[in-house]
């Protein structure tokens, strides 16, 4: 789960990391009022779950409140990588002397939270890693010991030469680790971590992604989910216990299992179509889940054909077939539906589907080809 910059800064502040003050505005009036209160130059920053906000024009320097009003008015409602800006953060502009990068993520190879720091902040860290890998220092945190003081210092030593800055930065590094762990994060970064002309170290931008598996035990973090910042269909899918990702194509996919769902999307593409979504309904034959899945898929006006790809394993095919039939009775569906059903009790399942008037297949390739053809209509 992504959280906004201002929320990540709240998490940082809880851990003691120095972040500038800031407030959220949802209208240009509010932005102007906040800037007036600060009474200094401010930044107006789009709050969306997307990188590249700056390049998209979503981050602006404002000399005064009227400029803040103007920029906020432009940014609010702006589309950034398909997401509409609903909120801006208004925060005093800082004098920047240097910009560094400090990030933590879960490293699969070392099986541990891993720091990446660079004195070259303010740019995409992947680019730094690709072009000047010697400008990055990495450290995996042994989960048995946590981040040790000398390790925090070792990272800070890579960023600065001045002992006073090193001391502040090593504190920030340790606090960032605490924030990472206590937020149940899978990724967090400060980019840039700045120094000011009077020698202060501050986090002026913040990113954090939460491990969805942590939410059950972190109600405070779970409460940070911004439903306005994600498509309604994904909210609905999550609430129904489905994994769903909206895409741009016109073949709606409904599959049991994440790997099979991806392979199905790939096969749609292979046969010249474009998948409209990723959707994993899991191992259940429960008609309610199928109903939710169909409602979500059909809420996408692009969808021209719906493709079920179900592998009956522990769940028997006849159960799954009954679930699908039952679900499609409950709602009206316009696009044509084709169903592939195979595995345990396959014949029985196919019979149930065909009796209910569905095009039923046993081969994944056949059903995908058919769905692509129908979508091209």
Partner 1 sequence: MSIFIDNDTRLVVQGITGRDGSFHTGQMMEYGTQVVAGVTPGKGGQIFEGPNGETVPIFNAMDEAVAQTGANTSVVYVPPAFASDAILEAVDSGVSLVVAITEGVPVLDMARAHAFAGDRGVRILGPNCPGLLSPGKSKVGILPAQIVTEGPIGVVSRSGTLTYEAVFQLTSVGLGQTTCVGIGGDPLIGTNFIDCLEAFEADPETAAVVMIGEIGGTDEQEAAAYVQANMSKPVVGFIAGQTAPPGRQMGHAGAIISGSAGTAEEKMKAFQDNGIAVAQRPADIVGLIQDTLA
Q: Using the rule CB under 8 A, which residue among 145, 301, 334, 377 binds partner 1? A: 145
| 173 touches 137 (CB < 8 A) | no
Per CB under 8 A, the segment of 60-68, 95-103, 243-251, 292-300 that binds partner 1 is: 243-251
Nearest-approach distance from CB 21 to partner 1, in angstroms:
30
From the CB of 368, what's the least distance to partner 1, in Å? 9
What's the burial of 219, exposed, middle or buried (CB within 10 Å: 0-12/13-18/19+)?
Answer: exposed
Report the residue number, 19 or 139, with the smaller CB distance to partner 1. 139
In the bound state with partner 1, the residue whose beta carbon lies nearer, of 67 and 300, is 300
Q: Which stretch binds partner 1 (CB under 8 A): 7-15, 58-66, 213-221, 349-357?
A: 213-221
Does position 349 interact with partner 1 (CB under 8 A)? The reply is no
Q: How far is CA 49 from CA 141, 169, 229, 231, 327, in A?
A: 27, 27, 7, 12, 34
Indicate which residues carry an active-site annotation.
Answer: 101, 189
Q: Give CA–CA dist 60/57, Å, rounded.
A: 7
Q: Does 354 bind partner 1 (CB under 8 A)?
A: no
CA distance 249 to 274: 4
Nearer to partner 1, 167 or 225 (CB): 167
The binding track of 151-190 with respect to partner 1, each residue x by CB under 8 A or -, is: x-xx--x-----x--xx-------------x--x-x----
Residue 256 within binding range of partner 1, rule CB under 8 A: yes
Taking the complex as a whole, how short is the minimal distance between the CB of residue 363 and partner 1, in angstroms?
Answer: 8
Site for partner 1 in 92-111 (CB under 8 A): 106, 108-109, 111
Is residue 214 a contact point for partner 1 (CB under 8 A)? yes
Among 65, 113, 338, 352, binds partner 1 (CB under 8 A): 113
Which residue stretch of 85-93, 240-248, 294-302, 349-357 sits at the interface with partner 1 (rule: CB under 8 A)? 240-248
Binding mask 61-90 for partner 1 (x = CB under 8 A): ------------------------------
Exposure string of 233-255, with b = 16+ CB inside 10 Å and e = fewer, is bbebbbebebbbebbebbbbbbb
- Residues pairing with 102 in the sheet: 117, 190
Per-residue contact flags (x/-) with partner 1 for residues 259 to 298, judged by CB under 8 A: xxxxx-xxxxxx----x--x-x------------------
- Radius of gyration for the chain, computed over Cα atoms and rounded to the nearest angstrom: 25
CB of 307 to partner 1, least distance (A): 14
Size of the residue set binding partner 1 (CB under 8 A): 61
Among 13, 14, 78, 245, binds partner 1 (CB under 8 A): 245
| Segment near partner 1 (CB under 8 A); pick from 52-60, 195-203, 256-264, 321-329 | 256-264
Residues in the chain: 377
Place of tokens 């899945």: 293
CB closer to partner 1, 275 vs 323: 275
Among 97, 258, 330, 357, binds partner 1 (CB under 8 A): 258
List 39, 133, 199, 313, residue binding partner 1 (CB under 8 A): 313
- Which stretches of the chain bind partner 1, using CB under 8 A? 106, 108-109, 111-113, 126, 142-145, 148-151, 153-154, 157, 163, 166-167, 181, 184, 186, 211-214, 216-217, 243, 245, 247, 255-263, 265-270, 275, 278, 280, 311-314, 342-344, 363-365
């Amino acid at each position: 789960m992504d959280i906004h910059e201002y929320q990540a800064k709240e998490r940082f502040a809880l851990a003691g990391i120095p972040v500038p003050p800031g407030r959220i505005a949802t209208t240009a009036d509010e932005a102007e009022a906040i800037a007036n209160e600060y009474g200094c130059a401010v930044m107006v920053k789009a709050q969306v779950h997307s990188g590249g906000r700056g390049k998209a024009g979503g981050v602006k320097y404002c000399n005064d409140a009227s400029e803040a009003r103007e920029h906020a008015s432009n940014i609010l409602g702006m589309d950034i990588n398909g997401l509409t800006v609903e909120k801006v953060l208004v925060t005093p502009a800082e004098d920047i002397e240097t910009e560094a990068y400090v990030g933590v993520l879960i490293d699969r190879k070392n099986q541990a939270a891993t720091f990446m720091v660079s004195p070259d902040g303010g740019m995409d860290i992947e680019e730094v890693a690709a072009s000047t890998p010697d400008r990055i220092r990495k450290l995996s945190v042994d989960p048995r010991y946590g981040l040790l003081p000398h390790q925090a210092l070792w990272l800070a030593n890579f960023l600065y030469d001045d002992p006073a800055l090193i001391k502040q930065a090593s504190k920030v590094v340790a606090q960032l680790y605490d924030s990472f762990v206590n937020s149940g994060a899978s990724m967090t970064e400060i980019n840039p971590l700045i120094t000011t002309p009077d020698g202060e170290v501050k986090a002026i931008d913040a990113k954090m992604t939460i491990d969805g598996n942590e939410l059950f035990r972190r109600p405070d973090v779970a409460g940070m989910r911004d439903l306005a910042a994600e498509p309604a269909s994904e909210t609905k899918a999550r609430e129904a216990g489905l994994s769903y990702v909206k895409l741009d194509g016109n073949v709606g996919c409904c599959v049991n299992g994440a790997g099979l769902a991806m392979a199905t999307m790939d096969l749609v593409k292979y046969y010249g179509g474009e998948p409209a979504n990723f959707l994993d309904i899991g191992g259940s034959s429960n008609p309610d889940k199928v109903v939710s899945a169909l409602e979500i898929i059909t809420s996408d006006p692009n969808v021209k054909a719906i493709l079920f790809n179900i592998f009956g394993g522990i769940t028997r095919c006849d159960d799954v077939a009954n679930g699908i039939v039952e679900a499609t009775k409950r709602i009206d569906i316009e696009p044509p539906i084709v169903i592939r059903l195979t595995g345990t009790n396959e014949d029985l399942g196919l019979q149930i589907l065909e009796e209910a008037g569905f095009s039923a297949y046993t081969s994944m390739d056949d059903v995908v080809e058919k769905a692509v053809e129908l979508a091209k209509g």
